[in-house]
Amino acid sequence: MGYRVVVAGATGNVGREMLNILAERQFPVDEVAALASRKSLGTEVSFGDKTLKTQDLDTFDFTGWDMALFAVGSSATKTYAPKAAAAGCVVIDNSSLYRYEPDIPLIVPEVNPDAIEAYSNRNIIANPNCSTAQMVVALKPLHDRARIKRVVVSTYQSVSGAGKEGIDELWDQTKGMYVPGQEVEPSKFQKQIAFNVIPHIDVFLDDGSTKEEWKMVAETKKIVDTSIKVTATCVRVPVFVGHSEAINIEFEDFLDEDEARDILREAPGIMVVDKREDGGYVTPVECVGDFATFISRIRQDSTIENGLNLWCVSDNLRKGAALNAVQIAELLGNRVLKKG
């Protein structure tokens, strides 16, 4: 006997990827419902070799469904997630709405699987921000060995993190650079994204950081360890899919780069590609469609007593969103619901 699973926001980038990954990983399902807003009603989406017609999120009855993967944004989640949870359907939410609620678990299965037990507080589980998810997968096994004091991270985030509108704007602006009369002014992004980088993701806060940078700080503390100090600079780059991060880590104890490399090679969810030669590292283009978080450029930082630098790349639509949600569903099934 398998699960009855709902995917809310099934016509969006992340929702479609959730359906793809459920099928790819052969998640034990008896039935899948694809939900969308009324304007997308009846749109067909793929689930393995099947085609599903979207149903109306507004009128859907969650009674009798086991779990719902939400990819609809915070405002819609605020309306529909409590309805699903009250009906006995466990919500795994990809928005930022519930991530910082103390009684709602924020989970990356390779990092803090035991937090799944707290799902029963409100029948809701939060999925972390895309940039946080891949970073903490790399940090946790190193933290277990040498205890991390401080992390300095600079991100290089793809336009797919801003949804279909972000992808379209990069595509259209790039074409417009070469075709007179087809120039495209910024609308989704604050400045031109084609052939440019923008050090601004989400809104500015009073201290000068952006909300995206604050998310990386708060979520790392909640998922890994509250004592870790994190400072982030988040940058949008003209890449369609795949987030990259340059991460500088300061430890309490010395950790040799060779040992760190060995630790990461054995860690779940990580693929180390680290050759000190031309092309001996992973770039965003190469990580698209892959489940792994790729680590390259591991090296000592000689400017501090116990420091390491590394390069971290992952498909943000997968590990940063849809894959992590499905992994949470797998964890929920294996540890708690135990069907299938």
Query: Catalytic residue numbers?
Result: 130, 243
4 is in an annotated binding site: no
With residue 271 as reference, give the H or E element that holds it.
strand 270-272
Q: Is 11 annotated as a binding residue?
A: yes
- Residue 12 marked ligand-binding: yes
Which 3 state secondary structure label does DSSP give 235? strand
Sequence-ordered list of residues with C-beta below 8 angstroms from that of 103, at least 6 positions apart, any chain: 118, 121, 122
Q: How far apart are CA 71 and CA 81, in angstroms?
A: 11
Residue 316 near residue 242 (C-beta atoms within 8 A) = yes
User: Do the annotations mark residue 39 as ligand-binding?
Assistant: yes
- The H or E element spanning position 111 is none
Helix H segments across 25-119? 74-86
Q: Is 40 a known ligand-binding residue?
A: yes
Residue 160 marked as a ligand binder: yes
Q: Does 236 carry a binding-site annotation?
A: yes
- DSSP structure class, residue 177: T
Residue 78 known to bind ligand: no
Residue 2 is labelled as binding a ligand: no
Report whether 164 contacts 12 (CB < 8 A): yes
Q: Is 276 annotated as a binding residue?
A: no
DSSP three-state, residue 78 = helix
∠ CA 285-135-216 to the nearest 5 degrees? 115
Long-range (24+ apart) CB contacts under 8 A made by 168-173 are: 169/193, 170/194, 170/238, 170/240
Q: Is 25 annotated as a binding residue?
A: no
Q: How far apart are the first and last CA of the chain?
A: 5
Structure tokens, 240: 């369609």
Rg of the Cα trace of the chain? 20
Numbered residues of the known binding site for NADP(+):
11-14, 39-40, 160-161, 316
Numbered residues of the known binding site for substrate:
157, 236
Numbered residues of the known binding site:
11-14, 39-40, 99, 157, 160-161, 236, 316
Numbered residues of the known binding site for phosphate:
99
